[in-house]
Amino acid sequence: MTFKTLDDLESGQRVLVRLDLNSPVEDGEVQDNRRFDRHATTVKELAEDDHKVVLMAHQGRPGDDDFVSLEQHADILAGHIDRDVQFVADTYGDDALDAIRSLEGGDVLLLENTRMVDEELPEADPETKAETEFVQTLKEEFDAYVNDAYSAAHRKHASLVGFPLVLPSYAGRVMESEYEANSSIATREFDGDVTMVVGGTKATDVIGVMNALDEKVDQFLLGGIAGELFLRADGHDVGYDLEGMNLFDEQWEKNEETIRNVLDEKGDQIVLATDLAFEDENNERAEIPVANITEKDTAYLDVGSDTVATYTPYIHDSEAVFVKGALGLFEDERFATGTTGVLEAIADTDCFSVVGGGDTSRAIEMYGMSEDDFSHVSIAGGAYIRALTGESLPAVELLQEN
């Protein structure tokens, strides 16, 4: 690892910490989730080491329903670290500066939503972000900057890429563990088979992962919307929109040639679903073999039980398994079989395993599985994809360089 961590940070300093507490908001109420629990490790360690701890985080984007204040986040985080988290409805104005200067060692303060700062959001070079009033004002109040927001590390926002150029910078515990686990497919050598379970809604993500990792991965097990598009390329009457849908046709139009080429060139590494699940006339789950589909007349919401049975031996025989994206609409219990089936197969296997990609890891908690049964459960979406495909993570690179 090439960046400094909390192990390198001397006690009793004024520390500015970037977290990613972006959470679902339902009827105006911020929902607790694993991000609070994960980041609590970093925040608690800093507070216990007598630092004056000032936290930055974002929530939503301007104009969206979930673009709200972080006041509720402070209360939720306090419950996870078992100590008070102060909040100030300001980011770098006089109110924020007064609150920062009044802190004692061990105190924790959360600043207002960074995306309420005009200079935060537009993507720009780190050097440009470092010169913003936002960064230049806050840098005077701190001895060190800690970035724990791995899941936002692919963004070039001021709070992520500006501060490493003006303050001694360190990786928090989430940043450290996420980087190590998510980079392992590129950096580690595995003696046995490496399997990747690939699903989700974006064909471009799946194609990118396959192209980047074809020499590292022995087999790709497909599902989700992307998997259905590959079935279409394989000659099956699936993978297109029915009335009221907007999931398949546009992606097919943009990616048909690439999907067909990937299937031709990497076909011996690609394992496609053998059956699909749908909602029958009684609103129950029903399954149909892919070979029996002569006309798509219903939405397919999951891979079927036979597909799980087909995928399971690949998983059991692997030394490492990586998961990117869900195989079906697991939020609906009727259509969780594919996603939970492969996760349970991984949990039952003594292999190195990383689960990530958007909300996929949420299925572990929703269906009573234990994170301890997996080597790493990522809370990152876009950054996880970038790590898998070898694309740059600007915030990580800046930690490494500074």
Do 162 and 232 fall within a single domain?
no
Do 175 and 194 fall within a single domain?
no
- Asked if residue 101 belongs to a known ligand binding site, the reply is no
Do 175 and 118 fall within a single domain?
yes
Residue span of the structural domain in which 310 resides: 188-369
Do 194 and 331 fall within a single domain?
yes
The stretch 136-152 carries a mean pLDDT of 98
Provide the 8-state DSSP code for 299: -
Residue-by-residue DSSP string for 110-157: E---GGGSTTTSS---HHHHHTSHHHHHHHTT-SEEEE--GGGTT---
Q: What is the CATH number of the domain that holds 250?
A: 3.40.50.1260
- Asked if residue 357 belongs to a known ligand binding site, the reply is yes
Q: At what angle do helices 249-266 and 224-233 cross, to 10 degrees?
A: 70
| Cα 138 to Cα 74, 242, 323, distances in angstroms | 20, 52, 39
- Asked if residue 199 belongs to a known ligand binding site, the reply is no
- Asked if residue 155 belongs to a known ligand binding site, the reply is yes
- Asked if residue 35 belongs to a known ligand binding site, the reply is yes
- Asked if residue 82 belongs to a known ligand binding site, the reply is no
Q: Which of 35-39, 177-181, 186-190, 268-272 has the lowest mean pLDDT?
A: 186-190
Do 53 and 117 fall within a single domain?
yes
Work out the percent of the chain whose per-residue pLDDT is above 70. 99
pLDDT, one tens digit per residue, over 18-73 is 999 999 999 999 999 889 999 999 999 999 999 999 999 999 999 999 999 999 99
What is the rounded average pLDDT for all residues in the chain? 96
- Asked if residue 200 belongs to a known ligand binding site, the reply is no
The stretch 185-211 carries a mean pLDDT of 92
| Helix (H) or strand (E) run with residue 344 in it | helix 337-347
Do 172 and 192 fall within a single domain?
no
Domain for residue 376, yes or no?
no
- Asked if residue 167 belongs to a known ligand binding site, the reply is no
Provide the 8-state DSSP code for 234: T
Separation of alpha carbons 235 and 233, rounded Å: 5
Which residue type does 282 have? N
- Asked if residue 60 belongs to a known ligand binding site, the reply is yes
pLDDT band, residue 358 (cuts 50/70/90): low
The answer to whether the Cα torsion of 381, 382, 385, 390 is positive or negative is negative
Our measurement of the distance from residue 318's CA atom to the centroid of its chain's CA atoms, rounded to an integer in Å, reads 23
- Asked if residue 136 belongs to a known ligand binding site, the reply is no
Domain for residue 385, yes or no?
no
- Asked if residue 20 belongs to a known ligand binding site, the reply is yes
Do 244 and 285 fall within a single domain?
yes
The stretch 170-198 carries a mean pLDDT of 93
Among 167, 118, 125, smallest CA distance to 144 is for 167
